[in-house]
Amino acid sequence: MRRMITERGLVVSCQAYEGEPLFGPHHMAEMAKAAVLGGAIGIRANGTADIAAIKAVVNVPVIGLLKRRVGDCPVYITPTLEDACAVHAAGADIVAIDGTRRLRPDGTTIRQVVEELTRLGVCVMADVSTLEEGLHAAELGVQYISTTLSGYTPYSPGTNKPDIELVRCLAQETRLPVVAEGRFTSSEQMIQALNAGAQFVVVGSAITRPQDITERYRKAIEDKVVLNS
Ligand SMILES: CC(=O)N[C@H](C=O)[C@@H](O)[C@H](O)[C@H](O)COP(=O)(O)O
């Protein structure tokens, strides 16, 4: 049985890239278990192996995606219908796809992908970068809109902070659950997003990438303390 996320709260993204120490389904499944122990109401995961491994050990809904770069196509979050079907088949409760209007690597449009996933009964999260993309995805009939790609398209504002303003606008202008995702590094920012209308907040690197967390602490020392004279 596939489950939606209906509560408000924190979803933890458990992702590691090839070459990183925690890459691999075993590590990601253990990370997901730890996140659920801490109170995560859902997990976001990349790749069919990680999704299946995580589904086997947690009982909260899993948002699945498949990051895949094809040539120089900028669409890389579950870029094709086949990728979305693979994510669904791996057990994801919700399938996250690129929610922009950009053509997918196989030349298809978001409309075609969402129409087919809707016909198959797949629950879709559209990862968008602007309000306009969110409104368009909502019109196509997706179930969730996430701010995931804000700052990651050439036409969206690039900052090192979460895009709380986009959360607020999406929450005001659509009737769909809005997901706040991308660059959350503090619980204060999470509260701001929830108060701006997010149904839940997805936090990744700040919880599940130890090398990034360590680097953030180390940089703080460098910025404030003279280490060597
Ligand atoms: C833009 C993109 O490709 N985002 C990906 C989407 O799944 C992941 O790399 C992020 O880690 C995830 O969105 C969570 O964000 P953050 O790690 O900043 O908390």
Residue whose CA is closest, atom 5 of ligand 1?
148
Question: In testing the pocket of ligand 1, which one of 148, 156, 159, 185 has its CB within 8 Å of the most ligand atoms?
Answer: 148
| Whole-prediction pTM | 0.97
Query: Which residues contact residue 135 at a Cβ distance below 8 angstroms, ignoring those fewer than 6 apart?
Result: 173, 174
Distance from residue 155's CA to the centre of ligand 1 (Å) = 18
Whether residue 4 lies inside any domain: the answer is no
Residue nearest (by alpha carbon) to ligand 1 atom 6: 148
212 domain residue, yes or no: yes
Ligand 1 atom 14, closest CA: 204
Residue 3 lies in a domain: no
Residues forming beta bridges with residue 198, ordered by sequence position: none
Q: Which residues constitute the domain of residue 60?
A: 9-224
The tokens of 143 are what? 């179930």
**Ligand 1 and 61: CB distance under 6 A:** no
Burial (Cβ within 10 Å: 0-12, 13-18, ≥19) of residue 172: exposed
What pLDDT was estimated at residue 52? 98
| Minimum CA distance residue for ligand 1 atom 12 | 204
Please work out whether the CB of residue 184 comes within 6 Å of at least one atom of ligand 1. yes
In a domain, 61, yes or no: yes
Residue 90: the pLDDT is: 98
1 located within any domain? no
Rounded CA separation 1/207 (Å): 28
Phi-psi region of 110 (alpha: psi -120 to 50; beta: other; left: phi over 0): alpha
d(CA 227, CA 43): 39
Q: Which atom of ligand 1 is nearest to the CA of 208?
A: 17
In a domain? residue 115: yes
Please list the pLDDT of the chain residue by residue as tens digits (229 residues).
899 999 999 999 999 999 999 999 999 999 999 999 999 999 999 999 999 999 999 999 999 999 999 999 999 999 999 999 999 999 999 999 999 999 999 999 999 999 999 999 999 999 999 999 999 999 999 999 999 999 999 999 989 999 999 999 999 999 999 999 999 999 999 999 999 999 999 999 999 999 999 999 999 998 788 766 5
pLDDT (0 to 100) of residue 224: 80
CA dist 92 and 62 (Å) reads: 5
Take atom 1 of ligand 1 and give the residue whose Cα is closest: 149
Count CB atoms within 10 A of the CB of residue 143: 19
Instruction: Report how far residue 78's alpha carbon sits from residue 210's, in angstroms, rounded to the nearest whole number.
Output: 25
Instruction: Please state the atom number of ligand 1 nearest to the C-alpha of residue 183.
Output: 18
Quote the ligand 1 centre to 37 CA distance (angstroms).
21
Ligand 1 pocket check for 203: Cβ under 6 Å: yes
pLDDT for 175: 95
CA 229 to ligand 1 centroid distance, Å = 38
CATH number at residue 141: 3.20.20.70
Q: How many domains does the chain have?
A: 1
In this structure, is residue 112 part of a structural domain? yes
Q: What is the Å distance from ligand 1's center to 132 Cα?
A: 20
Which ipTM score applies to this complex?
0.99
Cβ atoms of residues 167 and 147 within 8 Å: yes
**180 occurs within a structural domain:** yes
Q: Which amino acid appears at position 152 of this protein? A: Y
**Residue 53 in 3-state DSSP?**
helix
